[in-house]
Structure 1
Amino acid sequence: MPRAKRTEQFVAQEVCVVHVAQRCVRRAFLAGADPVSGCDYSYRKEWIRRRMEALASAFGIDVLSYAIMSNHLHLILRNRPDVVASWADEEAAIRWLKVFPGRRLEEHLGEPTEAEVQRLCRDKPRLQEIRNRLSDISWFMRALAEPIARMANRQDDCTGRFWEGRFKAQRIVDEAGLLACSLYVDLNPVRAAVGDSPDCVPHTSAYDRIEAAKGKQINSAAFDLQPVPVSDASGQSLEVPAEKLRRAKKAKQRSSSGRRIRRDAWLANLSLDAGKLANDPEVHREGLRCSNSGYLNLSLREYMRLLRWTASAGRESMRGRQSVPKDVARALRHRGIEAEMWSELVWNWQRYFGRSGCAGSPKAMKADAENSGRRWYRGQGAVAAFFC
């Protein structure tokens, strides 16, 4: 049975939450310690994380959760066309030109100039197409995967594929599915025996949030959303020599290189704010992420408590079933999840949802199937025992 079309799973004009996975070609350890060649490419995980951080500052897409492994990566993304609609034409143009500067005769001309931004703003049909792409998860993944592949191929002095193919996508249709998927993503390194606890494994969203709670900061990789200033005092755009553009670009890069941010500042807020209006886009104004909107009805402390217990329960499952703490059981049953089955669902997510284009409770999956003209989703019946 062929994979579903992207347009059947998500569209750029509607807010939706999607779990995506991207694998290296032949599942090789191209971002980790390769046991065959003996080479350690683990530093490439930071390439991927910083590229995601940069894209989070430019696209109308929230990064909810992520995990970068040695031969694949997981992301949970939420596209926000409502946020993109709130941007001025100039802002949308600058964001696009930062990610896709276009073909340049020389590399130093890659930074967008004021003249280029204004030229794009005058082309209204093109600008509308760009707005759609800035909230399109497929374009986000394209902007993530291609530069990493080019950098790795250049370093290895080779050509060909770095990634296995197009990314795999699952639409998350309710909070129960989102909570389970988020923990599955954060616990990927623990399941792979990279570490015993989510507290000690970097390049996951859980680790970033834990370190940020301790006050840890990082150098920001966010785009500087300002064009190269090449205009006179009256604002009239000028044609300037390439050397002047080169100096302007270097000066702008120096001015933003020292910015320090919380380690998780580029990630979406975890907790939903009950005081916000349902139709409030909650636009983030500091240029680090798309919005200030959370995605779970849990505090960070509650989420970490559930995450650590699930990690412990999964590791100890071979020695006998662990009793579920009362607070954990209460939080799960409140979301319609059988507490005794929770660890099985998270640790064996691939067994139940791995071949499905949709994830959530059976009721929510059935409703989504009907809305999309399907009879059912694969795995819909198999997960019935996990939900109340």
Structure 2
Amino acid sequence: MTRARKCLIDLASTSYYHLIARCVRQAYLCGDDPYSGKNFDHRRTWLIERIKHLSTIFAIDIAAYAVMSNHYHLVVKVNRAHALNWSDDEVITRWYKLYRGHLLVDQHTQGQQLDAISRRHFDEIIATWRARLYDISWYMKNLNEHIAREANKEDNCTGKYWEGRYQSQGLLDHASIIRCMAYVDLNPIRAKAADSLEHSDFTSIQERILHFQALQNNSNNNSNNNTFNVNKKQDDSQHLAQPAQLKPFAGNHVEHAIPFALSDYLALVDWSGRQINPQKAGHIDNSTPKILTTLGVDEAVWMDSIKHFRRQYSHFAGAPQRLKLHAAKNDMKWYKGTG
């Protein structure tokens, strides 16, 4: 049975969500379309640029993304508390980057004094806009509608472009967040669209690696090898030097960051990719990745999860006990994944 979106986005339980949108009518977001014979790689750029642009407006951070041939994945973090701390003027500035304004709001920005009734109406407008600026549905509406308009214009057609609004999974704990991020980052490897993380185009892992390499090359001009090496170290204090429009990795002591070291995450995903594609050239330590040890996750369980994450869970993902508690909170008997 289809459930209302308000039952699927529960910010009181988690601020991290896995989002998926898929094309219809055999439309291609990117790559070579075997039906039309056209190449649509440039649409990947549209999507990535729009994702990042919207994240400068909404109180929503991007933790991971992957753009595939006819669908895309996002892992996002909703910063509700951040949005609630914005001034009214900050809310207005952000909203006006996407929509036309309102007469009362225009009067306020022009310095005009509002009477009591107008002021109450103004406050209601700002409260509505503020709530929408940390609302995943409004974020996805602005993302998907923009891409649909551009694609329909290019295809010289009208009609539905996306298969429904979007799908979502709430990520209830650190283990499910990291599993889902790795699942998203490894999409091209699993689909055999790429043979390495460095060549996994239009993914967040490729963006993080290229940024990581650039920092290493700047600090070591003697290096002639531009191949990703997970054995190199990066201090948590460098989290601010990570890609500006991706949520950074850092230790537990750093606020508003993913609570793991970037180098440990890169090592984990690289190790996982080699298990999926054992023919991949290169060498990596056979020892269990540090993050798996920290989370207490078995290697076989981890690999099964990052191969089949979408099938293992439904609307929420997490440890069995977390899923049971969340199901009880929402008057559900169980959520898929509790077995």
TM-score, L = length of structure 1: 0.72
Q: How does 1:108-127 map to 2 (within 5 A)?
A: 117=109, 123-127=122-126
User: Which of 374, 377, 381 lines up with 2:332 in the alignment?
Assistant: 374
Are the counterparts in 2 of residues 27 and 72 from structure 1 also a CA contact under 8 Å? no
1:142, 1:372 → 2: CA distance? 26
1:299, 1:37 → 2: CA distance? 44
2:271, 2:14 → 1: CA distance? 31
1:333, 1:375 → 2: CA distance? 32
Are the counterparts in 2 of residues 15 and 81 from structure 1 also a CA contact under 8 Å? no
Q: Once the 2 structures are TM-superposed, how far is the Cα of residue 83 of structure 1 from its aligned partner?
A: 0.3
Are the counterparts in 2 of residues 324 and 339 from structure 1 also a CA contact under 8 Å? no
Query: Could you say what secondary structure the match of 1:207 adopts?
Result: helix
1:351, 1:338 → 2: CA distance? 19
Question: C-alpha deviations, 1:7-34, integer Å up to 9, x for none?
Answer: 1121567751110100011453243210
Q: Once the 2 structures are TM-superposed, how far is the Cα of residue 63 of structure 1 from its aligned partner?
A: 1.0
Is 1:316 aligned to 2:278, yes or no? yes
2:153, 2:168 → 1: CA distance? 28
User: Which of 336, 344, 361 lines up with 2:304 in the alignment?
Assistant: 344
Give the match for residue 294 of structure 1. 257
Is 1:130 aligned to 2:129, yes or no? yes
* CA shift in 2, pair 1:153/1:341, >3 Å: same
Give the match for residue 241 of structure 1. none
Q: Once the 2 structures are TM-superposed, how far is the Cα of residue 335 of structure 1 from its aligned partner?
A: 1.2
2:296, 2:96 → 1: CA distance? 45
Question: C-alpha deviations, 1:87-116, integer Å up to 9, x for none?
Answer: 11111111011022369xxxxxxxxx9768
Q: How does 1:159-170 map to 2 (within 5 A)?
A: 159-170=158-169
1:77, 1:117 → 2: CA distance? 32
Is 1:189 aligned to 2:151, yes or no? no
2:285, 2:211 → 1: CA distance? 28
Are the counterparts in 2 of residues 23 and 72 from structure 1 also a CA contact under 8 Å? yes
* CA shift in 2, pair 1:43/1:90, >3 Å: same
* CA shift in 2, pair 1:28/1:82, >3 Å: same
2:250, 2:8 → 1: CA distance? 25
Is 1:144 aligned to 2:102, yes or no? no
Is 1:7 aligned to 2:17, yes or no? no
Give the match for residue 286 of structure 1. none
1:370, 1:178 → 2: CA distance? 21
1:270, 1:153 → 2: CA distance? 37
Give the match for residue 247 of structure 1. none
CA RMSD of aligned residues (A): 2.7
* CA shift in 2, pair 1:273/1:378, >3 Å: closer
1:342, 1:15 → 2: CA distance? 21
1:72, 1:160 → 2: CA distance? 18
2:136, 2:260 → 1: CA distance? 25
* Structure 1 consecutive aligned stretches of length 4 or more whose deviation exceeds 6 Å: none
1:163, 1:102 → 2: CA distance? 28
Give the match for residue 332 of structure 1. 292
Is 1:266 aligned to 2:266, yes or no? no
5+ long unaligned stretches in structure 2 = 216-239
Question: C-alpha deviations, 1:348-368, integer Å up to 9, x for none?
Answer: 223322xx1111121221121
2:65 partner letter: Y
1:324, 1:379 → 2: CA distance? 31
Question: C-alpha deviations, 1:306-357, integer Å up to 9, x for none?
Answer: 101101101239xxxxx993341x531431321232212111223322xx11
* CA shift in 2, pair 1:97/1:184, >3 Å: same
Question: C-alpha deviations, 1:57-95, integer Å up to 9, x for none?
Answer: 000111111111110000011111100111111111110
Are the counterparts in 1 of residues 29 and 68 from structure 2 also a CA contact under 8 Å? no
User: What is the identity percentage for the equivalent residue pairs of Structure 1 and Structure 2?
Assistant: 33
1:262, 1:27 → 2: CA distance? 40
1:90, 1:15 → 2: CA distance? 28
5+ long unaligned stretches in structure 1 = 104-112, 217-260, 277-292, 318-322, 382-388
Q: Once the 2 structures are TM-superposed, how far is the Cα of residue 374 of structure 1 from its aligned partner?
A: 1.3
Give the match for residue 227 of structure 2. none
Are the counterparts in 2 of residues 12 and 133 from structure 1 also a CA contact under 8 Å? no
Are the counterparts in 2 of residues 55 and 99 from structure 1 also a CA contact under 8 Å? no
Count of residues in Structure 1 that have an aligned counterpart in Structure 2: 302
Query: Could you say what secondary structure the match of 2:21 adopts?
Result: strand
Are the counterparts in 2 of residues 12 and 132 from structure 1 also a CA contact under 8 Å? no
Q: Once the 2 structures are TM-superposed, how far is the Cα of residue 263 of structure 1 from its aligned partner?
A: 8.0
* CA shift in 2, pair 1:115/1:262, >3 Å: farther
Is 1:361 aligned to 2:316, yes or no? no
Q: Which moved more, 1:129-138 or 1:31-40?
A: 31-40
* CA shift in 2, pair 1:366/1:164, >3 Å: same
Question: C-alpha deviations, 1:194-223, integer Å up to 9, x for none?
Answer: 11111112211111111112338xxxxxxx
* CA shift in 2, pair 1:116/1:160, >3 Å: farther
Q: Once the 2 structures are TM-superposed, how far is the Cα of residue 181 of structure 1 from its aligned partner?
A: 0.4
2:134, 2:146 → 1: CA distance? 19
Q: Once the 2 structures are TM-superposed, how far is the Cα of residue 159 of structure 1 from its aligned partner?
A: 0.3
